[in-house]
Structure formats: structure tokens, C-alpha cells
Amino acid sequence: MLYSEKVMDHFQNPRNVGKMDDADGVGEVGNAKCGDIMRMYIKVDKDTQTIRDVKFNTFGCGSAIATSSMATEMIKGKPVKDALALSNKAVVEALDGLPAYKLHCSVLAEQAVKAAVKDYYDKNGIPYGKDLTICNQDCEHCAGE
Amino acid sequence: MRVYADNAATTAVSDTAVAAMLPCFQEFYGNPSSLHTIGQRAAEKLSLARQIFARRLNCDPSEITFTSGGSEADNQALRSAAAAGAKKGKKHIISTEFEHHAILHTLEQLEKEGFEITLLKIPKSGVISPEQVRQALRPDTCLVSVMFANNEIGTIQPIPEIGRLCRASGVPFHTDAVQAAGHLPIDVKSMEIDMLSLSAHKFHGPKGVGVLYARKGRVPLVNVIYGGAQERGKRAGTENIPGIVGSAAAFDESCANMEKNAAKMTALRDKLIDGLTKVPHSILNGERERRLPGNVNLCFEGIEGESLLLLLDQKGVCASSGSACTSGSLDPSHVLLALGLPHEVAHGSLRLSLCKYNTEEEINHILAVTPGIVEYLRNISPVWDELEHGQRKHII
């Protein structure tokens, strides 16, 4: 099979799927031209700086949907700074692997989480390091891979 | 229920073809090049198979060359016409934007070798006009290659008209008939076709067998594979007797039952098209009338094809898509892009290709499960969300 059982499970039964109208931070990466868009919403508990709730919407292939779902599971209830440290590698491992040419989907998931956190920081005037930049994974960027 | 609706990719081998092949493994196992009885029995099988293809295509058996498949036949046809053209200083080739990669990538290579290639644009209908060919013809044109029917959207090209035009202009005409052979009537004489490629596994023959028809005295074939003197020295390698015999049996069977099969498949196809285009913001790619009997190709806005295929597979439906994720590249199908579809719409394509074995019950199953899957994926999709809230404009 192309995908692991875990990937198929998260693809067919995605966790935390949907919109969040009162999100504290929203991040969107990718574009429809390339065939992948992920939008991540986070709700933050301001006292503890933890992610109280998270939702996502994804346009894309099976692994794009599965990595979005897994990423939301991995940051839900976690401190915001931990979410920022989520790596695509950790998402791939949690899904029992992805085909090599699908690894960019996991990068997209990592970047979607970062984009949502950055949006939250920006909206709340919370300072962050210069290294928090978002790779939008647009076509020109990926084309060189 | 498992429904196989990916017959444009490959087909199941028919009982007739299997029955014809089986004796070739242990009874007619000889090498047709051998002089002894066992070898000559195999040679006789080979000769009969060649006669079947010749009769069904309306050509001479000596004009039939067996290859390893459609891709090899396409490569050899183009290489041969290019070599003949180069000898006369003619290095211009006309083809279309939506040919199979066996044609397009060979043309790319020929371009590197100094040939000039004109690829005709594809109208929205998915059917090019003979006038487009006429306008592209030049004094140094050495070949026109236009596919008989497109492999993704199933549209049938005006082959007899292009054949007549090329014959009158003195330019060799090749057609990649891989999707058409066994499904549409083909007569190389009346259609004025100089070279034609076909592939057996698209009409219930085995994989690994192709045919290149090349009209005698027109374009001399050059080798793609060098070695022994098989196929009049034009294609080396011991002949795949079981494959060739099975292919001929399958072709004979497909041609003999063509009308009956086409009527059945067309009815099922139309039912699918009518049912699936009821899904809001869906579109049939390529025109409906001049279309292969078994081809359905649609785009659903706001979703991506690979996820659609995976979920259809979970419901027992085997289909295909022209999305980037199924091609292993960043771009969706070159055929859908050639039709003028934007990338984001082309990513959401679905091809269902039927065969004579599909049943009405199977079509009902596809119609029952597909709309729900599309709706499910749209509910997850941020693109659909934007379309529904007017933040993004519907294209279809």
C-alpha cells in the first residue's frame, strides 16, 4: 500500500477538522495551484499559554489531510512554544512514515502550525525571535526540490 | 462491491485471449526463427496473429511490426519518420499538446537533435480541427502525428480528415491509436493513415505487446532495438509468442463485437456523466459527442483528485485522476492544462474508464458513493469554504 495504516486512519477520520470562528491565531500555507492548502486555527489559554483548541481545513491529497490531522493532535493541549517546536519529522514518525515524494506535506503541516502561532503572537503583541519565518511552500519554492 | 473503472490504464485479459495464449507456453513454445518443427509451429502462430491484425486494420501482414507495447511503437514511428525527413532536409514535425508522453517525450528528444516541433493547441472541446493541421504544415514538415483518441478525456480526433489532408500534402501521417484500437472502427486505407501504434492491454489483451503499422513504401522503419533479424530486421528480440497470439485473439474479439460493446458502454458512460454532472460545480472535460464509449472525465471544484481516488477505492471503486499528487510531479495533467483548465481545477479531476465487463449495478454503485465523497472532501477544504463564502470565485 502507498500509505501506512495510521495515514489512512487520519485521512479517513481526520481529528479536529473544521473552522474556528473565534480563533486566536490562524495560519494558512500552500496554494491551490500546487494542489495543497492547509489552514490551521488555534485557541490559546492566555494564562497558561497553552493551546486549548485547534482546528484545520485542508485542500490536498491523502497525506496532506493526514499530516494536518496528526499535527493538530500533537499540539492540542500543549504549550504554545512546544507547538512552535513541532517538526515535520516528528509528524512523519507519528504517522509511521510517508512516501518520499509526500514529505513536503509534512513540511506544510509544520509550517501551518508555525503560521498560526505567529499570527497569535502578532495579534497579541507577543515578541518572538527573527527565526520564526514561514515558508509558504509555494510552487516556485518546491519546484527546485 | 469492487468496481474496476480504470480501463484506460489497463484491462483484464479476456477468456478468449487467455485460451489462445495457454498452448503457447508448453505446446507452441518454439522459437519462430528455428528451422525445426517445434520452431515452425510457433512461426505459424506468429504468422496467423499478424494476419489477424492486418485483416482488422485493412493492411498487408508485412506492414505489421510487433513491439513491446504502445510506447515502443510510438518511439519507432517518430524516429523512423524523423530519420526519413532528415535525409531530405525536412526537420519539422507537427503534433498536439495533449499526446501521450510516449509521443511528447520522444519529440522533446528529437527537438534536442535539431528538429523543430509544432504542438497544436487543444480547443475546449478536446477535438482539434484539420484546419489547425493545415495551417501548421510547412514545406519542411516530415511528419504529422495526432492521436486517434485522447487517453485522459477520451475525445476522438478527426483522423480520416487529417489523413486525407496529409496524403494530399505528401506528408506522412502517424496516429497513436492506443486508446482507440479495439474500441473504434479503424481502416488504415480509407483513413489514409501511414503509421499507427496500438497496445494490446487496452483491449483485453496481455501487457507487453504493441503493434506498429507502417504503410509499405512510405516511411522505412529504423530500429529502436538492434539485434537479430526478427520482424524483417526492424525489431530485434525473440518474439513474445504467447503475448502476440493473445493480443491477436483479443483484437479479433474486440473488433467482432465492437458495435455491441460500444452500445453497452456508451449507455453506461452517459448514465455516469448525467449522474455525476449533477454534483454542483462539476464539469465534464472534453465534449460529450465525439468521445470514446467508455470514457468519463470530470473535475470537481474545491477538492484534490488523489484524496478522491483513495476514498473511492475505500468504497470499492478503482478510478484515476490527473492531479499532481497522482503523477508524482507538481503539475496536474498536461492534458487538462492543455484544455485551458486552471491548475486548481485540474487538480480535482476524476477519470472513470469503462469496459465491456462493467454492469449497470456497478455504475449505480459509483453514482451512489461519489457525490458523498466529494461533499466530504469539500467540507474539509479551505478552498471550498472560500468559494462558498464568496472570497474566491467559482470557475466551474
Confidence of residue A144 (pLDDT cuts 50, 70, 90): very low
Mutate to test the interface with B, among A57, A61, A98, A140 (most CBs of B within 10 A): A61
Q: Which of B239, B256, B273 is the last residue of a domain?
A: B256
B192 and B279 share a domain? no
Interface touch A37/B307, C-beta < 8 Å: no
Contacts of A19 in chain B (CB under 8 A): 385
Cβ–Cβ contact B386 with A under 8 A: no
The answer to whether residue B5 is domain-embedded is: no
The string of pLDDT tens digits covering residues B146-179 is 999 999 999 999 999 999 999 999 999 999 999 9
B249 and B266 share a domain? no
What's the CA gap between B143 and B219, in Å, rounded? 10
What's the CA gap between B117 and B97, in Å, rounded? 11
- Active-site hit among B24, B59, B142, B325: B325
Q: Which of B232, B256, B280 is the last residue of a domain?
A: B256
A34 is catalytic: yes
B297 and B317 share a domain? yes
What's the CA gap between A116 and B177, in Å, rounded? 52
Is the CA virtual torsion B66, B67, B72, B78 positive or negative?
negative
Task: Give me the number of domains chain B comprises.
Answer: 2
Mutate to test the interface with A, among B309, B337, B347, B378 (most CBs of A within 10 A): B347
B306 and B232 share a domain? no
C-alpha atoms less than 13 angstroms from C-alpha of B239 in its C-beta half-sphere: 33
B372 and B232 share a domain? no
Interface touch B380/A58, C-beta < 8 Å: yes
Contacts of B384 in chain A (CB under 8 A): 59
| Grid coordinates given for B295 | 470514457
B135 and B148 share a domain? yes
B218 and B313 share a domain? no
Q: What is the mean pLDDT of each run of 10 residues along chain B (396 residues)?
A: 97 98 98 98 98 98 98 98 98 98 98 98 98 98 98 98 98 98 98 98 98 98 97 98 98 98 98 98 97 98 95 97 72 92 93 98 98 96 94 92
Q: Which of B225, B256, B287 is the last residue of a domain?
A: B256
CA distance, residue A47 to nearest chain B CA (Å)? 30
Detail the DSSP E strand segments found in chain A.
25-31, 36-45, 50-59
| Grid coordinates given for B297 | 472525465
Enumerate the β-bridge partners of residue B297: B351
**Interface predicted TM-score (ipTM):** 0.90
Segments forming the whole domain that contains residue B235: 15-256
CATH number, position A89: 3.90.1010.10
Contacts of A143 in chain B (CB under 8 A): 330
Candidates B126, B203, B129, B125; CA nearest to B159 is: B129
In this prediction, residue A134 carries a pLDDT of 84
Task: Give me the number of domains chain A comprises.
Answer: 1
B237 and B279 share a domain? no
Cβ–Cβ contact B325 with A under 8 A: yes
CATH number, position B134: 3.40.640.10
B119 and B149 share a domain? yes
B233 and B89 share a domain? yes
In this prediction, residue A137 carries a pLDDT of 58
Sequence-ordered list of residues with C-beta below 8 angstroms from that of B98, at least 6 positions apart, any chain: B122, B126, B147, B150, B152, B153, B334, B335, B338, B339
Contacts of A142 in chain B (CB under 8 A): 330
In this prediction, residue A129 carries a pLDDT of 87
B62 and B86 share a domain? yes
Confidence of residue A145 (pLDDT cuts 50, 70, 90): very low
Segments forming the whole domain that contains residue A25: 5-140
CA distance, residue A2 to nearest chain B CA (Å)? 10
The string of pLDDT tens digits covering residues A34-85 is 889 999 999 999 999 999 999 999 999 999 999 999 999 999 999 999 999 9
B317 and B243 share a domain? no
